[in-house]
Amino acid sequence: GICLGMQLLFEDSEEDGGRNPGLGIFRGRVGRLDGPRLLHVGWNAAATTAPDGPVEPGFYYFIHGYAPRPENPSDILAESRFGETVFPAAVGRDRVTGVQFHPEKSGQAGLAFLDGWANNKERLPKEAGSSPSTGKSGPPRATPAVRLIPCLDMDDGRVVKGVRFENLRDAGDPAELARRYVEQGADEICFLDVGATWKSRRTLLEIVARVAGETFIPLTVGGGLRTVEDIREALQAGADKVSLGTAALENPELLQEAAERFGRQCLVVSIDARAKNGGWVATTHGGRRESGRDAVGWAGTAEAAGAGEILLNSIDRDGTGSGYDLDLLGRVRTAVRIPVIASGGGETPAQTWEAVVHGGADAVLLASVLHGGRRTISEFKTFLRKKGVFVR
């Protein structure tokens, strides 16, 4: 069982209200996961609690807001930590295994786990009642790792980049760039269709399907998605999450409907904010029109409507290399409990550190600095790691 599939192995769940029955293979209930955010999203470390268990210690990709509480500690094969809350990352007994993380999106570590399971290489405890304390390494003391996310702005099948959403220029082939960034250690890839025409979106989905077939990290797709059917097509093409901007701002009911149908964990609300009169106004249509809505207030409304993450882009900083808008970041971070992704102005590792430490960002988006080959994701992670930031 994977993620929800693992939770279904237990007796019942509190999710969606009431007590929803599960399979009852493991004793225990599934309840809301307490932590620093409403959802546990991103890469986190898992520590084995069974000496011969199937999960190797390492980083895996999680995205959930509920977690099981097993009654029998010997059922727990691995643990992870969300803030100060320890939860099972894997459970198992006899021929049944469940993992809370997504191995299919956890890079080489996840593929190794799936290979072991598919080819009968599982190393489950020899005795179901054996003590989990033997060889236990203990859950990591960390929240999810800070994510570095390359953003591929696309128009009619090519990656483009400009300054403050203007003067777009060709930046390369999206599939080639995606492969390069995965090799450098990207935690996710974000595809945004800035052309947002039907032709451009169809081309984008074809590319996403191709990339999803050869890379095993989460993919986010946005741009021109206006209906639940558009969202469904993007998810079926291989996207793990969708980014909604203008459509969500003009029709918040779309968020509610999509959250009910697909789950809020796959919904990212993109806010293009422009400074105005001492605050920030949320814009639409790629920053070309002002909505009249306060960007910080809209972030809170989007969370209430069903958003799982906020992608916060400063139009004033976009493509300038002048650093992220820390004031804007801090205001939105205070207004919501879901993860916030900083975007717009990132050029140096020091600026990403400021976005995380002083702005409270859970992830940072990078574009021009990577497309131009001025820096690599590895350089950013090395700097952040030396500064004490938890990264994969």
Q: Is 44 exposed, middle or buried (0-12, 13-18, 19+ CB in 10 A)?
A: buried
**Active-site residue among 155, 272, 318, 362?**
272
**Active-site residue among 153, 230, 318, 362?**
153
CA-to-CA distance for 73 and 77, rounded, in angstroms?
9
Residues 117, 119, 123, 127, CA torsion sign: positive
Query: Directed axis angle between helix 377-386 and helix 174-184, to 10°?
Result: 30
Question: How many CB atoms are closer than 10 A to CB 390?
Answer: 17
Q: Is 294 a catalytic residue?
A: no
Q: What's the one-letter identity of residue 225? A: L
CA-to-CA distance for 238 and 191, rounded, in angstroms?
12
Q: Is 272 a catalytic residue?
A: yes
Long-range (24+ apart) CB contacts under 8 A made by 287-294 are: 287/164, 287/165, 287/315, 287/318, 288/165, 291/249, 291/250, 293/249
Query: Directed axis angle between helix 228-237 and helix 198-212, to 10°?
Result: 30
Is residue 180 within 8 A of residue 214, CB to CB? The reply is: no
Closest CA to 158 of 184, 193, 182: 193
Residue at token pair 């904010």? 273
Please list the active-site residues: 153, 272
